[in-house]
Amino acid sequence: MKLATMLMYDGNPRNAADTVVSYEKAGLEQVWVAEAYGFDSPTLMGYLAARTETVEIGAAILNIYSRTPGALLQTAAGLDNVSGGRAILGLGASGPQVIEGFHGVPYRKPLARTAEIVDLVRRGLRREVLTNDGEFHLPLTKEHGAVTGLGKPLKLLTHPERDSIPIWIAALGGKSVEQTAEIADGWIPHLFHPEKAHLVWGDALEAGKAKRQEGLAPLQIMANAMVAIGEGPETKQMLDFARPLFALYVGGMGAKGKNFYNDVAKAYGYEKEAEQIQELYLSGKKKEAEALVPLEWLEAANLVGPESYVRERIAAFAEAGVTTLSVTPASADPVATMAQVKEMLS
């Protein structure tokens, strides 16, 4: 299992880069840069490429709507060059709240658009001319209109560092997860519950794997977890630091009926809590919403407790198929915590 960390989108990128440099020395293998509606991730990813030597650098995620397929191809190729072949392209549909509320573009046909972009990026990295049976050429996808005929299809001007870059997809819905298992190199779920994940996504993963594209290696899976290793009740209390994140996604990432994370919570069996958290969060009662996040879920999705317990939780993630564990240290010495987790994964 690889060791990774996720850089959140609400911090200071320069400080985050300093942290990653220290983590790399402690054994970090991958760093993932979130974007949402804060700073863009490619800027920080390029900065990280210059500051680091071995760590893989992934976008988690670049949404598929606010950039053209050509722009995503350029970003992937450019990052792979400046990092010396360490780029991972993480893609996702995000949600209507971010796509329409921040970027101001229609949120539609996420499955078709994702599949087209994955195909185009892969062909583009091989420097093929980017056409799609005469119906599509950059920068427009089929669902966004036909081209004028004034532009000639082109191939990437520069030569990429690699002719293939890993493409990971963030997906939650059944059809999206199935497609991910069919066409992507890796899958990025969110708020992952190792013991219950198969109840939500098991059938979709198996269906996608049965159709998996020829030549692709086995699907990689990344899960995120806060880590705090120690004895006593004060360590367990660290779980409260995860409550705001869970409440934000379950309660605030979308309107009623249009929140994918809320749907996941219900699929895990937390139907009542999911409805109450959303009602409170959308009413501005965030602290009350946070208090209702099930402790069982927090315990299962994070690595908080004595070392023996943390090792058990790591084994549970591995049993659930996780191949990359992305951790956020919650300790006085995060670098030492990162090194300790690396030892557990070895």
Q: Contact, 31 vs 4, CB < 8 A?
A: yes
pLDDT digits 0-9 by tens, 158-201: 999 999 999 999 999 999 999 999 999 999 999 999 999 999 99
Cα gap 340→343, rounded to integer Å? 5
What is the pLDDT, as a whole number, of residue 8? 75
Cα gap 286→284, rounded to integer Å? 6
Q: Are residues 208 and 240 in the same domain?
A: no
User: Which pTM does this prediction carry?
Assistant: 0.92
Q: What are phi and psi of 341, to 5 degrees?
A: -65, -40
What is the pLDDT, as a whole number, of residue 328? 96
Which residue, 191, 168, 174, 173, is CA-closest to 249? 191
Q: Are residues 68 and 90 in the same domain?
A: yes
Q: Are residues 151 and 216 in the same domain?
A: yes
Which residues in the chain show pLDDT less than 50? Answer: 134-142, 144-147
Count of structural domains, the chain: 2
For the chain, state the CA radius of gyration: 20
Q: Are residues 258 and 185 in the same domain?
A: no
Cα gap 107→97, rounded to integer Å? 9
Q: What are phi and psi of 130, to 5 degrees?
A: -90, 90
Q: Are residues 171 and 54 in the same domain?
A: yes
Q: Are residues 252 and 150 in the same domain?
A: no
Q: Are residues 202 and 156 in the same domain?
A: yes
Q: Are residues 282 and 151 in the same domain?
A: no
Domain with 243 in it: 232-302
Q: Are residues 191 and 246 in the same domain?
A: no
321: left (phi > 0), else alpha (psi -120 to 50), else beta? Answer: left
Query: Which CATH number covers residue 9?
Result: 3.20.20.30
Q: Contact, 250 vs 277, CB < 8 A?
A: yes
Q: Are residues 221 and 184 in the same domain?
A: yes
What is the pLDDT, as a whole number, of residue 153? 78
Q: Are residues 191 and 289 in the same domain?
A: no
What is the pLDDT, as a whole number, of residue 15? 86
What is the pLDDT, as a whole number, of residue 255? 87
Q: Contact, 254 vs 284, CB < 8 A?
A: no
Q: Are residues 118 and 35 in the same domain?
A: yes
Cα gap 248→108, rounded to integer Å? 23
Q: In the structure, how many helices (H) and strands (E) does the chain have?
A: 15, 12
| Amino acid occupying residue 6 | M
